[in-house]
Each structure stands twice: as structure tokens, then as C-alpha cells.
């Protein structure tokens, strides 16, 4: 008998033995546990998965109740989770989702960190981030392709090169997501130099192969990086210091990185950012003793951080905000020109979104790495003509160590996702895979998020702040039969700054799964293309011409032909 009651070293069951009454429930159970696997989550003892305080459940009591409920949940029942707490089970239908999740949603006038902190303190809410509270985090791999695609697009745009060979990438933060930076930079053949105040995080990236080495001081780290750049070497180096310490050194010594970014969890200044002059431990003491003072210092430090980034930008560094809202936090702390730094979505990712491409992923419940490699081969075979995808799959197979349940991320687009999902489901049915496969995605995707300083920054029609699309996305995924669907506020850019939805479907080899995969993967990504076509992106209109959706108010060329 598998023991589901422990709270340390949580590890999801592997293989095709069912503990729940159906694979929808079992998938949710295993992915929840996988989020808290110490190989995967950042601080599982505190239920924190990644991204500042992105949690999987509100409390251990809530976690236990979710686990118990999933183990007993019938195939026509649906569990409701309110900010990480299971609040009710209702009878729905066999075709409906098994779990519906709403995390950190607040009435807009109260959507501030101050109110959120107060309500969290009262035990009434939880920060779900994007994939933490929605149970589809897959470790640092989850963001790595996004980072890779961003840096690749940057290379093409600014250096007319498909790699970053001979370029110096400087950034900070080696947390759950930030930890992907050194590896993504390496896959693009750059030299990466990263500041991280928490030595334990550096250790974790070294252990999981995301980082090559650590230098004890800034001076030494910078020298090594410059030597490597000179020598045309490809290497990633961390320095165990505050971001501003590294940047100040570069400014003082007239060293300008080619590419500059940041991945501290600046979106959540109270929990995700360590102020100047503090280490992890002293910061924790100040945070507990005087949160207001902590916030003041963290915001001042973020302001200084962005000032330094601006100085380096003006000296020629190609800089971008990589989705942690650091520009806005600095702007609110008085840095009026913070938005001179590019947002990565309009600068590098929008074209992918317009085609329905985004961080799609799958995990094999068998636990067998070779089944991921088998699926890699399937993808290479099915999408032979998609060069970028094939290049990615090959690089990923070579560079990425698995964390927890073996998984793969791939920016598949509209049309590709459902084709792939359905084929994989057939393989499960035929026993070519030894257990079901889970398909999901980040909330950071084409049609699932409204976030004016990130995914919807500078939309062509000015619709950045329109929040209807993620809501429609969540409702449509429920109607289409995803196994679990989530809707969050907050996430990557923090409280007040984004609304987003997630979905997961389990391919268990059944005809029921085929239907769900066809509908959900098609509709989910299709809505993203429609959202971009509606906003006036030509690439989206073209995508709809190839693979039409009925769009009552767009041009006739995007409409399915009548039979």
C-alpha cells in the first residue's frame, strides 16, 4: 500500500496502478504530489513550489484533505478547490472536469499586496502562482524553453545570429524558474553570469545540471566570465551575491554585458526579493519582525537594481524584463524610466503566441525517462517540417535532467497539440507506453492570460488590460472536458497585475481521453489565436486561414468552409 500521508520527501506514485477511481483524479493526485517532490518544488516543507510564495495547497491540513478526497472521488464528481483548500464535492457528469480550482482571486479594489497579505494571514487565501496551485509545475524545465526562445529571438533580432555564441548574458535569481537561465543560455552557446543570494539555490542548480559552476566572489566570477567569452567557451557561472552587487561592479568597471535580464521574484517584494545588505536568514528575521520595513527596503533595493540595469542598457546592453514585473515595482518606487527596458513578450514572444504556440508540456505517469525519449522521437517524426520544434526537442533531450516525474516542454502550436495528444493516447491504448500521460501547460500561454506588463503588454489594439479572455479560456476548457481547470489572479507579475487560466488533460488510452484531448488541446490554443487575430495580428489571421475557427466578427477568410 502506498502511503499518502507523509509530508516530507513526497514522491508521486509511478506506474499504471490506479489508486483513485479514475485516471483524471489519479493524474491530479500525482501531479499535486509531484509539485511538492523535493526534486521539483523549491521549498516543499512550506508547500512552496516556485515563484516567491507560489503554493500547491493552503496548509498541510488542506493538502491531506485534497489527497483523501481525490482518492475517493467518483467519476461523475467534481472537487472544488478555493485558494488551495478543498471546499466541496458536487456531482457533475462523467465528461466534466474532476477538479476546479480558483486561487488568489480578489475583488479588484482589494487586489493589492497589502490586502492579499492580510487575507493570507487570516488563512483565507493562498498565492497560486501559475503552475504551483494548479498542479502542473514540472521543475525548471517548465520555463526553460521560454527562456531559450526569448534568447534565440533576441539573438536573431539584435545580433543576426541563431546562437548567442561569444555573448555575455548577465542576470540574477536561480529559483525555480530563474534556474533555467544558465542552461538556456548554454543551449544558445552564451557565457552566463548570475547573481543569487541564496547559496542553497545555487547548490540545487549545480546538482540538477542547470548550472556549471560557482565563483566565490563577484570579482572572480566576472573575470572567469570575461575569460570564457574571450576564449569562445560556453559556460555558466553563479556568484553568491545580491543582484545589485554584481551590477554595481559591472557599472563601476565599465563592463557591459551583451544581454541583461533578471529573475529574482521581484513581483512579490515581501517574499521573493532580498533587500540590499541582507542575506536569506537576516531577511527572514526582518520579514517576520517588521514586514512594512522589509517592503520599504526591498522596494528601494529594486529601484536601485533597475537603475543599474538602465545604466547598463544605455551603455549598450540588450536588456529585457523577463516577466517578474521588476519594471513596474521599480516604477512605483520612483524609477520613472523603468519602462525603457523591453518587456520580453512584445519584443520576442508575441509572434509565437499569435500562432497558438506556448509552453505546452507532458509528463509520463510511468515515471520512466525512456518513455519521454520515445515521445521525443514521436514528436520529431510527426513534426519533421517544424525545424524550431525539432531543434528544441533534440537540445532538450541532450541537456535537460528530469526532476520528479519525467516530463517534456515544447512550444507546440495550434493544431500540433491535439494531433500529438491524440497520437500519444493511442500509444497508451496499445500499451506502447506503460502508463497514462498528462498534458498541460503554463498559465503563461497564448489565450489564457491577461497581464499588461507581460503576456499582453503593448497589444496592437490596446487591449492589454481586458480580462475577458482568460475567463473565457477557463470556461471553455471546462466545457471541453479538461480533467482539471484553474483560474488564478496574481502569478508571475504579482497581485493586481494578471489574471490567468490553466488546464490539464490525462491521456489514459480511453476513447473518453481521445475526445477530451481533441477538444481541449484544439480549443485552448485556438482561442489564443482568435484572441490575437481579434487584436489585429496578421500572423494570427494567417494561422486561422490554415486551421479555421468560426469567428463571427472576423473576416470571411478565417471561417471554416461550408460543406
Ligand X SMILES: NC(=O)c1ccc[n+]([C@@H]2O[C@H](COP(=O)([O-])OP(=O)(O)OC[C@H]3O[C@@H](n4cnc5c(N)ncnc54)[C@H](O)[C@@H]3O)[C@@H](O)[C@H]2O)c1
- Helix 23-35 and helix 60-72, axial crossing angle in degrees, nearest 10: 160
Cα 299 to Cα 79, 117, 211: the distances in Å are: 39, 16, 28
Q: Does 177 bind ligand X (CB under 6 A)?
A: yes
Which of ligand X, a copy of itself, none does residue 132 bind to, with CB < 5 to 8 Å depending on kind?
none
Q: Rule CB under 6 A: which of 400-459 touch ligand X?
A: 444
Which of a copy of itself, ligand X, none does residue 499 bind to, with CB < 5 to 8 Å depending on kind?
a copy of itself
Residues 336, 289: Cα–Cα separation, whole Å: 31
Contact of 28 with 21, CB cutoff 8 Å: no
For a copy of itself, which residue of 10, 96, 234, 238 counts as binding (CB under 8 A)? 96
Residues 450, 540: Cα–Cα separation, whole Å: 17
Q: Does 107 bind a copy of itself (CB under 8 A)?
A: yes
Which x/- pattern over 186-205 shows residues binding ligand X (rule: CB under 6 A)? ---------xxxx--x----
Other beta carbons within 10 angstroms of residue 90's beta carbon come to 11
CA triple 526-532-536, angle to 5 deg: 140
Query: Closest by alpha carbon to 512, among 480, 477, 549?
Result: 480
Residues 248, 219: Cα–Cα separation, whole Å: 11
Q: What minimum distance in Å lies between the beta carbon of 181 and ligand X?
A: 9
Applying CB under 6 A, the span of 220-228, 268-276, 361-369, 479-487 interacting with ligand X comes to 268-276
Q: Which is nearer to ligand X, 417 or 488 (CB)?
A: 488
For ligand X, which residue of 176, 367, 421, 436 counts as binding (CB under 6 A)? 176
Contact of 503 with 520, CB cutoff 8 Å: yes
Q: Does 429 bind a copy of itself (CB under 8 A)?
A: no
Q: Does 249 bind ligand X (CB under 6 A)?
A: no
Which x/- pattern over 112-131 shows residues binding a copy of itself (rule: CB under 8 A)? ---x---x--x-xx------
CA 340 from centroid of its chain's CA atoms: 25
Which of a copy of itself, ligand X, none does residue 143 bind to, with CB < 5 to 8 Å depending on kind?
ligand X
The DSSP string of 402-444 is: P-SS-EEEEEE-TTHHHHHHHHHHHHHHTTSSSS-EEEEE-SS
Q: What minimum distance in Å lies between the beta carbon of 464 and a copy of itself?
A: 8
Residues 349, 457: Cα–Cα separation, whole Å: 11
Q: Which is nearer to a copy of itself, 163 or 510 (CB)?
A: 510
Applying CB under 6 A, the span of 112-120, 321-329, 406-414, 471-479 interacting with ligand X comes to 321-329
- Helix 511-534 and helix 468-480, axial crossing angle in degrees, nearest 10: 160
Q: Does 143 bind ligand X (CB under 6 A)?
A: yes
For a copy of itself, which residue of 469, 503, 507, 541 counts as binding (CB under 8 A)? 469
Which x/- pattern over 494-523 shows residues binding a copy of itself (rule: CB under 8 A)? -xxxxx---------------x---x--xx
Q: Rule CB under 6 A: which of 97-136 touch ligand X?
A: none
Q: Does 452 bind a copy of itself (CB under 8 A)?
A: yes
Q: Which is nearer to a copy of itself, 84 or 142 (CB)?
A: 84
DSSP designation for 45 = G
User: Strands 77-82, 54-55: parallel, antiparallel or unpaired by DSSP?
Assistant: unpaired
Q: Does 265 bind ligand X (CB under 6 A)?
A: yes
Q: Which is nearer to a copy of itself, 80 or 206 (CB)?
A: 80
For a copy of itself, which residue of 34, 215, 324, 551 counts as binding (CB under 8 A)? 551
Q: Rule CB under 6 A: which of 19-58 touch ligand X?
A: 42, 50-52
Q: Rule CB under 6 A: which of 481-540 touch ligand X?
A: 492
End-to-end CA distance of the chain: 55
Which of a copy of itself, ligand X, none does residue 178 bind to, with CB < 5 to 8 Å depending on kind?
ligand X
Applying CB under 6 A, the span of 29-37, 71-79, 176-184, 532-540 interacting with ligand X comes to 176-184
Which residue pairs, CB below 8 angstroms and at least 24 apart, start in 219-228? 219/249, 221/193, 221/246, 222/193, 222/246, 222/249, 222/250, 222/253, 222/255, 225/168, 225/191, 225/192, 225/193, 226/168, 226/255, 228/191
Indicate the annotated binding residues for NAD(+).
51-52, 129, 176-178, 196, 201, 263-267, 273-274, 322, 492
User: Strands 358-364, 168-172: parallel, antiparallel or unpaired by DSSP?
Assistant: unpaired
Q: What minimum distance in Å lies between the beta carbon of 450 and ligand X?
A: 15
Q: Does 552 bind a copy of itself (CB under 8 A)?
A: yes
Cα 481 to Cα 94, 206, 528: the distances in Å are: 9, 40, 18
Cα 372 to Cα 94, 179, 473: the distances in Å are: 29, 22, 28
Q: What is the Cα Rg of the chain in Å?
A: 22
For ligand X, which residue of 242, 328, 350, 500 counts as binding (CB under 6 A)? 242
Q: What minimum distance in Å lies between the beta carbon of 116 and ligand X?
A: 15
Q: Does 480 bind a copy of itself (CB under 8 A)?
A: yes
Q: Does 311 bind a copy of itself (CB under 8 A)?
A: no
Residues 198, 214: Cα–Cα separation, whole Å: 12
Q: Rule CB under 8 A: which of 272-301 touch a copy of itself?
A: none
Indicate the annotated binding residues.
51-52, 129, 176-178, 196, 201, 263-267, 273-274, 322, 492
Enumerate binding residues for ligand X (CB under 6 A): 42, 50-52, 143, 146, 172-178, 195-198, 201, 242-243, 263-267, 272-274, 322-324, 444, 492
Amino acid at each position: 500500500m502506498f502511503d499518502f500521508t507523509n509530508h516530507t520527501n513526497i514522491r508521486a506514485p509511478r506506474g499504471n496502478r490506479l489508486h483513485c477511481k479514475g485516471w483524471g483524479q489519479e493524474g491530479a493526485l500525482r501531479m499535486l504530489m509531484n509539485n511538492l517532490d523535493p526534486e521539483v518544488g523549491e521549498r516543499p516543507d512550506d508547500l512552496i513550489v516556485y515563484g516567491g510564495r507560489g503554493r500547491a495547497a493552503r496548509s498541510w491540513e488542506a493538502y491531506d484533505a485534497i489527497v483523501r478526497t481525490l482518492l475517493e472521488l467518483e467519476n461523475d464528481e467534481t472537487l472544488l478547490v478555493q485558494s488551495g483548500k478543498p471546499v466541496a464535492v458536487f456531482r457533475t457528469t462523467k465528461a466534466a472536469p474532476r477538479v476546479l480550482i480558483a486561487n488568489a482571486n480578489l475583488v479588484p479594489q482589494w487586489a493589492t499586496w497589502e490586502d492579499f497579505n492580510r487575507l493570507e494571514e487570516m488563512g483565507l487565501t493562498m498565492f497560486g502562482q501559475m503552475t504551483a496551485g494548479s498542479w502542473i509545475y514540472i521543475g525548471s524545465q517548465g520555463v526553460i524553453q521560454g527562456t531559450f526562445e526569448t534568447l534565440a529571438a533576441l539573438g536573431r533580432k539584435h545580433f543576426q545570429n541563431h546562437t548567442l555564441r561569444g555573448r555575455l548574458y548577465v542576470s540574477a535569481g536561480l529559483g525555480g524558474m530563474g534556474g533555467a537561465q544558465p542552461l538556456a543560455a548554454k543551449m544558445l552557446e552564451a557565457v552566463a553570469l548570475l547573481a543569487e543570494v541564496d547559496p542553497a539555490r545555487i547548490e540545487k542548480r549545480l546538482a540538477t545540471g542547470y548550472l556549471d559552476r560557482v565563483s566565490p566572489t563577484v570579482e572572480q566570477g566576472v573575470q572567469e566570465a570575461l575569460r570564457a567569452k574571450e576564449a569562445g567557451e560556453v559556460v555558466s557561472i553563479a556568484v553568491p551575491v545580491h543582484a545589485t552587487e554584481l551590477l554595481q561592479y559591472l557599472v563601476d568597471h565599465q563592463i557591459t554585458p551583451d544581454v541583461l535580464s533578471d529573475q529574482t521574484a521581484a513581483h512579490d517584494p515581501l517574499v521573493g526579493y532580498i533587500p540590499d545588505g541582507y542575506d536569506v536568514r537576516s531577511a527572514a528575521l526582518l520579514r517576520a519582525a517588521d514586514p512594512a520595513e522589509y517592503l520599504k527596503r526591498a522596494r528601494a533595493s529594486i529601484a536601485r537594481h533597475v537603475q543599474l540595469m538602465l545604466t547598463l542598457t544605455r551603455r549598450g546592453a540588450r536588456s529585457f524584463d523577463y516577466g517578474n514585473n521588476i519594471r513596474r515595482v521599480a516604477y512605483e518606487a520612483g524609477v520613472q524610466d523603468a519602462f525603457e527596458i523591453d518587456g520580453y513578450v512584445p519584443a520576442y514572444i508575441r509572434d509565437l503566441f499569435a500562432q497558438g504556440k506556448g509552453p505546452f508540456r507532458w509528463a509520463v505517469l510511468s515515471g520512466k525517462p525512456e518513455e519521454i525519449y520515445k515521445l521525443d522521437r514521436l514528436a520529431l517524426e510527426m513534426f519533421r517540417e517544424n525545424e524550431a520544434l525539432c531543434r528544441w526537442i533534440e537540445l532538450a533531450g541532450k541537456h535537460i535532467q528530469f526532476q520528479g516525474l519525467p516530463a517534456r516542454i515544447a512550444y507546440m502550436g495550434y493544431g500540433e497539440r491535439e494531433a500529438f495528444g491524440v497520437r500519444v493516447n493511442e500509444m497508451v491504448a496499445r500499451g506502447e507506453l506503460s502508463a497514462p500521460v498528462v498534458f498541460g501547460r503554463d498559465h503563461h500561454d497564448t489565450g489564457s492570460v491577461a497581464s499588461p506588463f507581460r503576456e499582453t503588454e503593448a497589444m496592437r489594439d490596446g487591449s492589454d488590460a481586458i480580462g475577458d479572455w482568460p475567463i473565457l479560456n477557463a470556461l471553455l476548457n471546462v466545457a471541453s472536458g479538461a480533467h482539471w481547470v484553474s483560474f488564478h489572479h496574481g502569478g508571475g507579475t504579482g497581485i493586481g497585475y494578471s489574471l490567468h487560466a490553466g488546464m490539464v488533460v490525462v491521456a489514459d488510452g480511453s476513447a473518453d481521453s481521445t475526445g477530451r484531448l481533441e477538444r481541449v488541446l484544439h480549443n485552448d490554443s485556438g482561442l489564443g489565436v482568435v484572441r490575437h487575430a481579434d487584436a489585429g495580428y496578421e500572423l494570427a489571421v494567417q494561422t486561422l486561414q490554415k486551421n479555421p475557427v468560426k469567428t463571427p466578427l472576423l473576416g470571411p477568410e478565417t471561417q471554416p468552409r461550408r460543406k
